[in-house]
Amino acid sequence: MKAFKRIRKFISLHPIMSFILLIFATIIFSGILDFFDASVNYSKINVKTGSIESTLVTIESLFNLSGIKYIFSHTVSNFASFAPLSTLLILLMGISIMDVSGFLDTMFFVVTKKAPKFMVTWVFTIVCLLINLTGDISFIVFIPLGALLFKYGKRNPMIGIVHGFASCGLGYGLHLFTSSIDSALITSTTEAANLITTSYHISSLNNIWIMIPAVIIGSIVLTYITEVVTAPSLAKYEVDENEIVEDKDSLSKREIRGLIFAGIGAFIYGIIFIYNIIPGVPFGGNLLDYSQARYIDKLFGIDSFFNSGYVFVITLLFFICGFAYAVGARKISNNRELCEHLSHSLDGIGKVIVLLFFASTYISLLKYTNIGELVTAALANVINASNFSGIPLMILVFVISGVSGILLPSLTSRWSILAPTIVPTMMTAGFTPEAAQLVFTVGSSITYILTPAMAYYVIYIAYLEKYNKDGGIDIRRSFGYVLPYALFIMAMWIILLVLFYIVKINIGLHTGIVL
């Protein structure tokens, strides 16, 4: 009972203090594990030879001289290179122009004025799931935009924050087409499959048939939870004087002209962008990496111009929409006013930056210790020793995929450890490699929104803190908001996977859940 009270007290702390305690816990725990020489052997594929090699993962202690040196010498550089920091700051400049110019107010008025609340939330869900193809940038875009969508719709912005975060996170398991993450996972899946069947090929539409019902049902479930569970649990949002949203029944001529200007600007920009991601056209395809075979890799490959600059691509789109609207609606009169408005969404961002600092420190230290890798490798050995088959094996892989993600959220890092065990084991039991990757991905997506070790969790909790007016936000409340989403989607996936297995329905083109 006392232990439970201590845990409750911890998760009720201010998020900054919680991250500080997580940092100290990681330091102490790494020292304890190192003292007991904690290590795990796991199977790893040698990319050059294609054979399995036994790999030993050990703990790097932070509770010794070398660990202390790492803390003091890398904390600043880890913070400076923390992806959510730069991405957030850049994208917020684009959102600022759209917000201050009145583009978002007018656009959301058009979207929400006559549409039912359920329909607005459902469309927002679908957009979050589709943009998930680009990876983690979806969190940076749709957490602040979700807040503004609901604020301009005269609802609590926290509803949009919770819904955007849950939809983007669970969207890793809910998408119709191969995403940038899936493409990276396919490489490990193929290598692992070749241990059983040589020259195995995985289609880019490897899970299309199961994803069609999953996306439809999942989007409805996410929307239902938001409207029935989340929205009623949050108090009506009391708007400050500087946040007052103008009441209107129709658009003015200036606002209509602004939308037309913004639409023209976005259309021209979109045509130029699309032309530059089409391979083989004259003077086009300039944003692609032609050294890759699959199109998704050409688009999101390490050396592609698009992968290196898609944050700027989206920010520029936001800027064009906001600026074109301002010109058409005559909302910004001179260049000085335009430049000053660039920092509008950065007002009060200090708390977010402080949170980002402590979160980046915790995540970098956890990664340095190899605790996540050790736990993942140990769980891989559990699968190896289970001797399960059929539905029990599928559920075991589903659960282990989720549990391992709590300390090692990166899907690609975990799959490189788990794939050499999961894929051959499931293939031997009659599953296809596509099914193995699918079970891993959807299982991982459940806990992706339930761990502070996930880099973009800090953006979520920071925005909750920004818009919350009913006491402080803590880890307990932040997890409590998204837990219903995770539980319902988990139940949906288990039912779908078991149903497809029993009926032996194909999960994708030329693939099946059983061989």
Average pLDDT over residues 37-52: 79
Distance of alpha carbon 491 from alpha carbon 498, whole angstroms = 11
The pLDDT tens digits of the residues spanning 392-407 come to 999 999 999 999 999 9
Give residue 49's pLDDT: 66
- Average pLDDT across the chain, whole number: 86
Distance of alpha carbon 384 from alpha carbon 4, whole angstroms = 34
Average pLDDT over residues 499-503: 89
Distance of alpha carbon 370 from alpha carbon 29, whole angstroms = 11
Query: Is the Cβ–Cβ distance between 200 and 194 less than 8 Å?
Result: yes
Give residue 5's pLDDT: 58
Give residue 515's pLDDT: 39
Q: Both ends of the chain: CA-CA distance in Å?
A: 49
CB crowding 339-362: b at 16 or more within 10 Å, else e = eebbebbbeebeebeebbbbbbbb
Give residue 503's pLDDT: 87
Distance of alpha carbon 261 from alpha carbon 255, whole angstroms = 10
CB crowding 404-419: b at 16 or more within 10 Å, else e = bbbbbbbbeebbbbbb
Distance of alpha carbon 494 from alpha carbon 219, whole angstroms = 16
Give residue 109's pLDDT: 86
Query: Is the Cβ–Cβ distance between 451 and 406 less than 8 Å?
Result: yes
pLDDT at 297 over 80: no
Give the residue ranges of DSSP H helices in 226-370: 231-233, 253-275, 295-300, 305-329, 335-341, 350-369
Which neighbouring-strand residues pair with 44? Answer: 53
Nearest-Å Rg of the Cα atoms of the chain is 24
Give residue 111's pLDDT: 81
Average pLDDT over residues 505-514: 60
What single DSSP character describes residue 236? P
Query: Is the Cβ–Cβ distance between 505 and 211 less than 8 Å?
Result: no
Distance of alpha carbon 303 from alpha carbon 289, whole angstroms = 6
Among 38-52, 123-137, 151-165, 263-277, the range scoring the smallest mean pLDDT is 38-52
Distance of alpha carbon 360 from alpha carbon 85, whole angstroms = 9
Other Cβ atoms less than 10 A from the Cβ of 38: the count is 17
Among 1-10, 120-129, 166-175, 409-418, the range scoring the smallest mean pLDDT is 1-10
| 294 or 268, higher pLDDT | 268
- Name the band, by pLDDT with cuts 50, 70 and 90, for residue 126: very high
- The residue type at 178: T
pLDDT at 243 over 60: no
Q: Which two tokens stand for residue 274?
A: 């699309």
Distance of alpha carbon 366 from alpha carbon 307, whole angstroms = 26
**Residue ranges covered by each domain of the chain:** 2-240+251-503
Give residue 252's pLDDT: 87
Give residue 218's pLDDT: 96
Distance of alpha carbon 103 from alpha carbon 331, whole angstroms = 10
| 364 or 137, higher pLDDT | 364
The pLDDT tens digits of the residues spanning 179-208 come to 778 877 888 888 898 888 877 877 767 788
The residue behind tokens 């920092």 is 343
Give residue 196's pLDDT: 86
Give residue 68's pLDDT: 94
Q: Which two tokens stand for residue 357?
A: 């600092």
Give residue 437's pLDDT: 92
| DSSP character string of 124-172 | HHHHHHHHGGG-THHHHHHHHHHHHHHHHTTS-HHHHHHHHHHHHHHTT
The fraction of the chain above a pLDDT of 90, given in percent, is 45
Q: What element of type H or E holds 407?
A: none
Query: Is the Cβ–Cβ distance between 449 and 174 less than 8 Å?
Result: no
Among 42-51, 107-116, 132-141, the range scoring the smallest mean pLDDT is 42-51
Q: Which two tokens stand for residue 386?
A: 């289970």
Average pLDDT over residues 99-106: 87
- Name the band, by pLDDT with cuts 50, 70 and 90, for residue 246: low
The pLDDT tens digits of the residues spanning 264-276 come to 999 999 999 889 8
Average pLDDT over residues 52-62: 90
The pLDDT tens digits of the residues spanning 3-37 come to 655 655 555 788 899 999 999 999 999 999 999 99
pLDDT at 88 over 80: yes
| 420 or 182, higher pLDDT | 420
3-class state of residue 448 by DSSP: helix
3-class state of residue 58 by DSSP: strand
